[in-house]
Amino acid sequence: MPLTVLVGTQWGDEGKGRAVDVLSADAGMVVRCQGGTNAGHTVIAGETILKLRLIPSSILRPAVPVIGDGVVIDPEVLLGEIDALSAQGIHCDRLLVSGNAHLIMPYHRVFDRVIERHLGRAQLGTTRKGIGPAYADKAARIGLRVQDLLDMKIFGQKLEVNLKEKNAVLAKVYNQLPLDAKKIIAEYEGYAERLAPYIADTSLAISRALQGGLHVLLEGAQGTLLDIDHGTYPFVTSSQPIAAGILAGAGVGPCAVDRVVGATKAHCTRVGTGPFPTEIEGDIADRLRGVRGELGAEFGTVTGRQRRMGWLDGVLLRYATRLNSLSDVFLSKFDKLSGVGQLKIATAYRYEGEVYDEFPPHQTIFHKCEPIYEELEGWEEDISGARAFADLPAAAQRYVRRVEEIADVPVTWISVGPEREQLVSTATVSV
Ligand code: IMP
């Protein structure tokens, strides 16, 4: 009963959609476990390009797609995604949606917008999809769950209680018009009818799949540094994208895990505000980012925002190994480093004369530190045609080996382009 967890090791956008597509080739079930429509996972298979928000990135594979307990679901987006896929001939009939997952309500999206505006210069740069407010209601135990759609009477009662308080705050604090309960109920009644066939006990389904010997892949969203406990708080998301949070969101215990794969971009990126020690600007950043609209260009899948660029941060990679108990790294966008010239990896930080080779214990240090870089020789060759480790130029091989040393786990997959076959798997290479 192999269970694989896929986790992002940076600030999201590490190519997890691509990694899931690869890792799910033999999977019987793939589960989205936390986060919501803030995620944007891209999958490319030949002519088919999918930009997925809630549906697991394995949807082109035979695996049963599952949306687990820890996800916050915007039903309008989910149904829109199911319809858009169906229009492309990709059907989600076997999709299972946890009844315990929380619903994103219209007021969550409104609050996400007005709170950000209220924060002004201190704003987090959220995706404005209502993620934080939905998780806040979940923690406050006033959230509406997917299973509430199965009893619209209860749904209506819970909504009334919620709206009374939400509308008062919206009007008095944020100067917003109140939301109408009847309108929301009518809207969600429509969603209820369409979502009902998918609603299931997903933790039980996962357990049965594992007992039946199927390979189950847990697809993390966002990344380690966006974790609400262990990330760069408050510039984080409101769920737990680390492996333990992924397991909790799926409803699976830690002893079931065989492998924890850390999706890691060969350079680092970040969207939204918050500290980013290895951030770079200028020609190299522009080159790494690519041009808006190009395949693989570094602009947000969900928001279209330009991503901030940086060198690989080895301190954070080591931190991700520790927090997630990584067993492997899936290195993505490696081809983007070709022709960049001399490359850099941060191995420590300096702040007020002190050197920190672990994630600093205080936020001020992380905000103000200078990275200490190790320089690595670059390579000029186009590596997008590499299919074996030996096909890579010597300098590229050394970069991978250095990443392995820093992460202290093997780099088992190297993506050298967006297409499915543009992959080097070092699993069979003796080092
Ligand atoms: P929220 O998750 O929409 O509340 O946004 C909080 C922070 O997490 C912002 O900086 C977002 O840009 C970032 N974030 C959320 N989801 C993703 C993601 O899937 N990829 C990259 N950044 C994300």
Three-state SS across the chain? CCEEEEEECCCCCCCHHHHHHHHCCCCCEEEECCECCCCCEEEEECCEEEEECCCCCCCCCCCEEEECCCEEECHHHHHHHHHHHHHCCCCCCCCEEECCCEECCHHHHHHHHHHHHHHHHHCCCCCCCCHHHHHHHHHCCCCCEHHHHHCHHHHHHHHHHHHHHHHHHHHHCCCCCCCCHHHHHHHHHHHHHHHHHHEECHHHHHHHHHHCCCCEEEECCCCHHHCCCCCCCCCCCCCCCCHHHHHHHHCCCHHHCCEEEEEEECCEEECCCCCCCCEECCHHHHHHHCCCCCCCCCECCCCCCECEEECEEHHHHHHHHHHHCCCEEEEECHHHHCCCCCEEEEEEEEECCEEECCCCCCHHHHHHCEEEEEEECCCCCCCCCCCCHHHCCHHHHHHHHHHHHHHCCCEEEEECCCCCCCEEEHHHCCC
Can you tell me which atom of ligand 1 is nearest the CA of 13? 20
What separation in Å is there between the alpha carbon of 3 and the centre of ligand 1?
26
Query: What's the confidence (pLDDT) of residue 301?
Result: 81
Rounded CA gap, 18 and 26, in Å?
15
Q: What is the mean pLDDT of residues 225-238?
A: 97
Active site (annotated) includes residue 41: yes
Query: What's the confidence (pLDDT) of residue 431?
Result: 35
Q: What is the pLDDT of residues 339-389, one digit of tens each?
A: 999 999 999 999 999 999 999 999 999 999 999 999 999 999 999 999 999
CATH no. for 3-76+203-425: 3.90.170.10
What separation in Å is there between the alpha carbon of 16 and the centre of ligand 1?
14
Q: 14, 109, 226: which to mutate for ligand 1, most atoms within 8 A of CB?
A: 226
Helix 106-119 / helix 152-172 crossing angle, nearest 10 deg: 20
Active site (annotated) includes residue 286: no
What separation in Å is there between the alpha carbon of 304 and the centre of ligand 1?
12
Q: What is the mean pLDDT of residues 153-173?
A: 97
Show the ligand 1 pocket: residues with CB < 6 angstroms: 11-13, 38-40, 124-127, 129, 131-132, 221-222, 226, 235, 237-238, 271-272
Rounded CA gap, 141 and 71, in Å?
15
0.85 cut: is pTM over it?
yes
Query: What's the confidence (pLDDT) of residue 293?
Result: 84
Q: What is the pLDDT of residues 261-274, one digit of tens each?
A: 999 999 999 998 99
Q: Domain extents for the chain?
A: 3-76+203-425, 102-197
Q: What is the pLDDT of residues 76-127, one digit of tens each?
A: 999 999 999 999 999 999 999 999 999 999 999 999 999 999 999 999 999 9
Q: Are 302 and 257 in contact (CB under 8 A)?
A: no
What separation in Å is there between the alpha carbon of 179 and the centre of ligand 1?
26
Q: What is the mean pLDDT of residues 385-394?
A: 97
Q: What is the mean pLDDT of residues 163-168?
A: 98
Q: What is the mean pLDDT of residues 392-399?
A: 98
The one catalytic residue in 21, 41, 69, 227 is 41
| Local confidence band at 302 (pLDDT 50, 70, 90 cut-offs) | confident
Residue 428 pLDDT greater than 70, yes or no:
no
Q: What is the pLDDT of residues 103-115, one digit of tens each?
A: 999 999 999 999 9
What separation in Å is there between the alpha carbon of 132 and the centre of ligand 1?
10
The one catalytic residue in 13, 69, 112, 227 is 13
CATH no. for 102-197: 1.10.300.10
Summary mean pLDDT of the chain: 95
Q: What is the pLDDT of residues 196-219, one digit of tens each?
A: 999 999 999 999 999 999 999 999
Query: What's the confidence (pLDDT) of residue 229?
Result: 98
Domains 3-76+203-425 and 102-197 agree in fold: no
Q: What is the mean pLDDT of residues 2-22?
A: 96
Q: What is the mean pLDDT of residues 149-177?
A: 97
Residue 430 pLDDT greater than 70, yes or no:
no
Q: 10, 18, 38: which to mutate for ligand 1, most atoms within 8 A of CB?
A: 38
What percentage of the chain reaches a pLDDT higher than 90?
A: 93
Residue nearest to atom 10 of ligand 1 (CA): 272
Can you tell me which atom of ligand 1 is nearest the CA of 271? 12
Residue nearest to atom 2 of ligand 1 (CA): 237
